[in-house]
Amino acid sequence: MTTPTDKLLFTPGPLTTSNTVKEAMLRDVGSRDADFVAVVGEIRQLLLALAGVRQAEGYEAILMQGAGTFGIESVISSVIPADGKLLIIINGAYGKRIRDIAGRHGIETAVIEVTENTQPNPQELRRRLADDSEITHVALVHCETSSGILNPLNEIGSVVKELGRTFIVDAMSSFGGIPLNVSEARIDFLISSANKCIEGVPGFSLVIADHEQLLAIDGWARTLSLDLLAQWKGLEEQGQFRFTPPTHAILAFREALRELDDEGGVAGRAARYAANHAALLRGMRRMGFCEYVPAESQSHIITAFLFPEDPRFEFTEFYQRLSSKGMLIYPGKLTEGDCFRIGNIGQIFESDIESLLTAIAATLLEMNLNMKNTEKDTTPSPDPSAPIEYEDYNSTSGNYDDTRVPIGLPIVLDLLASTTTPLKEQSILDAGCGTGTFLAGLQGRVGTIHGRELSEGMQQVAKERFANDPNVQIDQGSITELPHADESFDAIVCNQVLHHLDHGEGEGASADDFPNVESFFREAFRVLRPNGIVVINTSDHDQHRDGFWWAALIPAAIERMLRRFPSIETLEEISKRTGFVDSEIKVPFDEVLQGKNYLDPKGPLSAAWRAGDSTWSLVTGEELTHALDRVTSSLKDGSMAAFLEEREELRTKIGQTTFLAVRKP
């Protein structure tokens, strides 16, 4: 659990930490007291275990006060002899920082530098080491946090060792979040920090060192306070830091290690971060953002996204707007390409990534930004009355069936059976068949079925689904103009389709406001045989307002939605105008359109869940933020259960959908 008032940190550190980690600091302990010394000893052993090694195998863990950079400077200034030469592999800012540190200490350096979105080539390293016998040490940044690129640690390590050099690795942002074994990677000195993937608080860095190499550096340190060997000796001989230790941060770190273990160790944590990363990429790509690093070289720690091409994009404003929504992202740190970065590490879960994506979508709208390369634009429509196809069925066709269920099938079968032609002999038109979910329910129970669908993506799914059934045919086209001869069908079913045809005027809309719906009825009348039946599945206005628990979260979008839905009375009027008689109404009170996922109280927090109902596509960015805040706070303060109960009581009285049947005389 995190502190509710803090902003969520989608940064590379310091990170959002658990309350229990923060609470562990609420003590004042003596730095030379036995209890504290024991904690330090325990931490050092646990760190070796995290690195996949033990002291008995010749490895040491050393804690060093200060930020991660202090740990790096401690290693660089301590482990390279006066006549040594350090080769630094650089593909980002942190590689450059190692070069700068070495420069400050007068250490001779060589570099292999590649562009910031390219992984270094181990063979090039082999050539350089073979050509330059003066190089004694090689430094690599494992996860180059400036871009999120993951460098090939083990491959580089084996080349370094094969050619007999010392291997220094900056694993600042990867240690604890990406499985690695110091021995297998042939690392002599690894540096990381308390406030990255182990999820402690800032205050010290840590070094895992090869014991023999450590003993060999005696007398090489160029500073007093960052002398690595002296620090190790202090910890080893008295169990103490040489200078004032960050006692509170150490206590927090002990708790953080416990929580890492509870999460399933590095593997468990890596799995969570990887899921965060996958959700982030999915959402950002949908909005049209592009990553700087190719997918195959990306880490699951942090991702650099290129600025949108729209010249109106201004990072400071983007950042501030997200910050005001409680989310902190990170600026770029690249020399080439304008980027911002989003971290997945710390106490961040997939639901937080979803909240961030929602906030970003809202921010794009607020800034009126035009996103190109949109895989699928999930951005809520800014102008709900604009004549757009408000849900892009081509892009939702892939997962459409995950979020909708064909409800009321028994009602439809009863109504069809009430006509003069026996069910098994009936020829049915499924007008607006979508991916064929409802059609599948009729398949085998009636004679022949013709599915017609306007969306290319949807009809393609349906076509493939029924390819082997000679009694089912699918074609693409509008239902306001039917290609069939007069009196071709015994029955027509039309499930949740009519709201795609017109944009009526809402509550007071009359039959005249739905000309396309009227065209459909006219065509339906023409292609039906005498005594044929049309069964429409729709939702009446009250059902929209009270038949869906979440409708109360987005009342303005519901009202916008109603403009598209002729009321039942309006439909009856249109049916009469077009020659139909004997209207009949049935409501399946027990069934819900979203099936088993419907009652998920966290549902609205997920973009995939929201995709299960078109209404959410009519929500503005601001409304969405407001709705999601309400869900989050009701979940937190425990009021969600009562809210759901109250809403469900209404639904069970009026249902979500209505079946209207009308007949051709």
Ligand X SMILES: Cc1ncc(COP(=O)(O)O)c(C=O)c1O
Say if residues 279 and 99 touch (Cβ distance below 8 Å). Answer: no
Segment contacting ligand X by CB under 6 A, of 17-25, 165-173, 376-384, 491-499: 165-173
Cα separation, 643 vs 265, in Å, equals: 38
Cα–Cα distance, 566 to 502 (Å, whole number): 9
116 binds ligand X (CB under 6 A): no
Helix/strand/coil (H/E/C) assignment for every residue in 601-634 = CCHHHCHHHHCCCHHHHHCCHHHHHHHHHHHHHH
Closest CA to 319 of 342, 300, 344: 342
The two structure tokens encoding residue 310: 């729209």
- DSSP codes of every residue in 380-425: PPS-TTS-S-SS-HHHHTTTHHHH-----HHHHHHHHHTSSS-GGG
Per CB under 6 A, 270 contacts ligand X: no
Binding residue for ligand X (CB under 6 A) from 51, 141, 554, 574? 141
Give the C-alpha separation, 498 to 509, whole Å. Answer: 15
Determine, following the binding rule CB under 6 A, whether residue 451 of this chain makes contact with ligand X: no
Binding mask 191-210 for ligand X (x = CB under 6 A): --x-----------------
145 near ligand X, judged by CB under 6 A: yes
CA 150, CA 533: separation in Å to the nearest integer?
Answer: 63
To ligand X, the closest distance from the beta carbon of 249 in angstroms equals 12
Does 524 engage in binding with ligand X (CB under 6 A)? Answer: no
Nearer to ligand X, 89 or 407 (CB): 89
Given candidates 2, 8, 9, 12, which one binds ligand X under the rule CB under 6 A?
Answer: 12
At 332, list the tokens.
Answer: 């770029």
CB nearer to ligand X: give 13 or 504. Answer: 13
Residue 261 Cβ vs ligand X, minimum distance, rounded to whole Å: 23
- Considering the complex, state which of residue 12 and residue 308 has its C-beta at the smaller distance from ligand X: 12
- Interface size with ligand X, residues (CB under 6 A): 12
Site map 63..102 versus ligand X, x via CB under 6 A:
----xxx------------------------x--------
In the complex with ligand X, the residue whose CB is nearer, 91 or 395, is 91
Quickly tell me which residue has 């459909």 as its tokens.
520
Q: Of the two residues 68 and 566, which places its CB atom closer to ligand X in the complex?
A: 68
Among residues 40, 172, 280, 287, which is the contact residue for ligand X, using CB under 6 A? 172
Please return the burial class of 481, using the count of CB atoms within 10 Å of its CB with bins 0-12, 13-18 and 19+.
Answer: exposed
Query: CB-wise, 78 or 193, nearer to ligand X?
Result: 193
User: By beta-carbon distance, which residue lies closest to ligand X?
Assistant: 68
Q: In what order do the strands lie in the sheet with 528-538?
A: 472-476, 448-453, 427-431, 489-495, 528-538, 658-663, 581-586
Q: How far is the CB of 474 from ligand X (least distance, A)?
A: 53
Give phi and psi for 607, each to the nearest 5. -65, -35
Task: Please state the closest distance from residue 14 (CB atom) to ligand X, in A.
Answer: 9
Contact 460, 526 (CB under 8 A): no
- Interaction between residue 391 and ligand X (CB under 6 A): no
**Residue 548: how many CB atoms within 10 A of its CB?**
23
Based on CB atoms, which residue is closest to ligand X, 74 or 567? 74
- Distance in Å, CB of 43 to ligand X, minimum: 18
Listing DSSP states for 255-272 in one string gives HHHHHHHHTTHHHHHHHH
CB of 68 to ligand X, least distance (A): 3
CB of 600 to ligand X, least distance (A): 36
φ/ψ of residue 363, rounded to 5: -65, -40
Q: How far is the CB of 94 from ligand X (least distance, A)?
A: 4
289 binds ligand X (CB under 6 A): no
| List of residues contacting ligand X (CB under 6 A) | 12-13, 67-69, 94, 141, 145, 170, 172-173, 193
